[in-house]
Amino acid sequence: MSDKIKLLFVVSEFYQAGTERFTYELDRALNKEKFAVSILCIYPLQNSTRFTDYYYEKHKELGSEIYFWQDIDQIRHPSLKERIAKKVKGTPLPHEHENLRLFLDRFDCISVMGEYNYMTLHRWMKPEHKEKCLIHIQNSRHQRPDIYTHFPKNENLFFVSGFSEEEITWELAEFESYRHEHFSLYFKLENKFVKTAYQASDKPKIGMFTRLTPTKPMDPFIYSFQLLKEQIPAAQLHLFGSGDPEAEGINRYIRQLGLEDSIFFRGHQENLVQTAVEENLDLVWLHGYHGIPGGFAGFDICTTKIPQLFWNFGGTEQTVYTDRFPMYNQISAFAKASINLLQNPEEAKELAQKQFDYIDEERNIIRYIHIMENIYTQTARKAT
């Protein structure tokens, strides 16, 4: 249909990671009778030896058109005729990145997936491109204080995030003005893997699902695990996710605390909910930010009915989510809460059920995709 809104997602790659998952969840939930989805990927396929292009084929299966920066942004050199016209008539020469600009002209709305991708695109955008552009924030200054360092702070940029108004005021404190709309990490619930048995164990297994990267610190969890083992000596901590624990400095903490025989690096898992249930995990630990789970991994685990506890990197405040997502900033309190759940199966089951109910009621993208559809529609109309 010719009256469909032509929507462009700008992504950096198609890896199996949080931003890429969010983009895919949006793509498959949007009403394709109203939106024609295209994707501009900044990096080429097979750009990493560590990650696969997991979501590339999945977007193709949805019918989305996929373009790559290297194919679009060909440097345009002026022809002899154009150079002569410049000398004789003073006609402006074409912009060297005119192909990219012409490409962006084709879309009614430009959705930048991840604040870190905006600056790659920003320098080549015309004013009319910026008017129809919105930026999905996927990280926090709590993770990396410099994420907005090079942003044009004097431009009235349009951000979308899962942060509350109070949180976004702190997050974007450097900006003179901006517009912000709230849209959290929603996803389609389709999990078939659920924990059914809860029991206290002498050898409990705690799991974490996270990439090993400096933006996801591990030291609070390692120190908490040492305290936990004073009460439950046979406990194990299994870390699922890509990355080199030696290169990231994680092994240093483990060796210093003498935990080599109790912490296991299990590598990347394509289906983390299946892994969590089949591994019979008793408890899952995860990063939290501003009082909520720090990404899709935490929400996915909620569907398994395995209880979770969180280390809150976003401050010490209590939030409306605290009852369902207990957050801690003190190692002793975190370890104590973990021990309590491992030794009290009924409390563990009750917490897991609260987390499951929250996901079903508050994170099901089918219930909330209309919000994002309205934002995209209004952005497209405003720019016309």
Q: Which tens digit of pLDDT belongs to each residue from 187-215?
A: 988 767 899 889 999 899 999 999 898 87
Q: What pLDDT was estimated at residue 295?
A: 81
Of 143, 339, 383, nearest to 235 (Cα)?
339
Residue 20 sits at φ, ψ, to 5 deg, of -65, -40
Question: Beta 205-209 vs 283-289: how paired, if at all?
Answer: parallel
Give the least confident one: 79-83, 254-258, 321-325.
79-83
With beta carbons less than 8 A apart as the criterion, state whether 216 and 287 touch.
Answer: yes
Q: Which tens digit of pLDDT belongs to each residue from 140-191?
A: 888 889 999 999 999 999 999 998 888 899 999 999 999 999 999 899 887 6
List beta partners, residue 38: 8, 65
Between 96 and 247, where is the model more confident?
A: 247
Q: Which domains does the chain have, with CATH numbers?
A: 5-187+365-383 (3.40.50.2000), 205-362 (3.40.50.2000)
Q: Which tens digit of pLDDT belongs to each residue from 311-350?
A: 988 665 667 788 899 999 999 999 999 999 999 999 999 9
Alpha-carbon gap, residue 230 to 278, rounded angstroms:
27
Is residue 92 over pLDDT 90?
no
Task: Quote the pTM value.
Answer: 0.74
Alpha-carbon gap, residue 381 to 384, rounded angstroms:
5
Cβ neighbourhood burial of 154 (10 Å; 0-12, 13-18, 19+) = exposed
